[in-house]
């Protein structure tokens, strides 16, 4: 009987598998109704530190996401219009920001501006993910922030602007 060779334990292999799993379960989201200046972050399986989130955003990644417009119809009933996108080529955070803005502007140009309450986006650093499967979950995530209230959106924008002005004054 022939002996089978055992593979040596390779800690880097485990780390690479974990890193890939963390990436496929990490998400970032933001919207005009959210007061924070930067994107909010979460992970479906792991506890994610601020440093880990910053590291993910600082490197080039492939991305999948959805731009959302939160509207109310003539009767005051809320509805959401999504626009799904994927970027198979790794891009930087600055490039991603520009593309998200383009996606949102394209989506806004298709809507009646009198019905638009706020906008938002949800992104994940893996272009193979299907965002359409999680549309309801993503919408519920934003509903905690009252996206269908235009007053909340205006107040959040004012708060973000004040926060940015304060940071700029402290930096000067």
Domain boundaries, the chain: 20-171
Phi and psi at 56, nearest 5°, equal: -60, -45
Question: Is 1's pLDDT higher than 60?
Answer: no
- What lies within 8 Å, CB to CB, of 81 at 6+ separation is 68, 69, 71, 107, 110, 111
> What is the enclosing helix (H) or strand (E) of 147?
none
Q: How far apart are CA 171 and CA 109, in angstroms?
A: 36
Question: Is 12's pLDDT higher than 70?
Answer: no
pTM listed for this prediction: 0.80
**Class of the CATH domain delimited by 20-171:** alpha beta
Tens digits of per-residue pLDDT, 123-157? 999 888 888 888 888 888 888 888 888 888 888 88
Residue scoring higher pLDDT (36 or 101): 101
Tens digits of per-residue pLDDT, 88-115? 999 998 999 999 999 999 998 998 888 8
Using alpha carbons, select from 25, 21, 6, 95 the residue that is nearest to residue 58.
95
């Amino acid at each position: 009987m022939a002996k089978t060779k055992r593979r040596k334990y390779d800690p880097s292999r485990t780390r690479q598998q974990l890193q890939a799993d963390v990436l496929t379960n990490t998400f970032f989201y933001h919207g005009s109704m959210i007061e924070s200046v930067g994107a909010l972050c979460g992970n479906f399986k792991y506890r994610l530190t601020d440093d880990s989130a910053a590291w993910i955003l600082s490197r080039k990644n492939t991305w999948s996401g959805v731009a959302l417009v939160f509207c109310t119809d003539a009767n005051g009933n809320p509805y959401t219009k999504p626009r799904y996108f994927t970027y198979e080529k790794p891009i930087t955070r600055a490039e991603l920001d520009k593309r998200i803005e383009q996606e949102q502007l394209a989506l806004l140009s298709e809507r009646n501006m009198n019905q638009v309450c706020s906008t938002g986006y949800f992104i994940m650093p893996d272009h193979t993910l299907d965002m359409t499967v999680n549309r309801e979950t993503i919408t519920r995530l934003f509903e905690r922030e009252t996206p269908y209230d235009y007053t909340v959106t205006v107040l959040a924008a004012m708060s973000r602007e004040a926060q940015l002005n304060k940071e700029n004054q402290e930096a000067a």
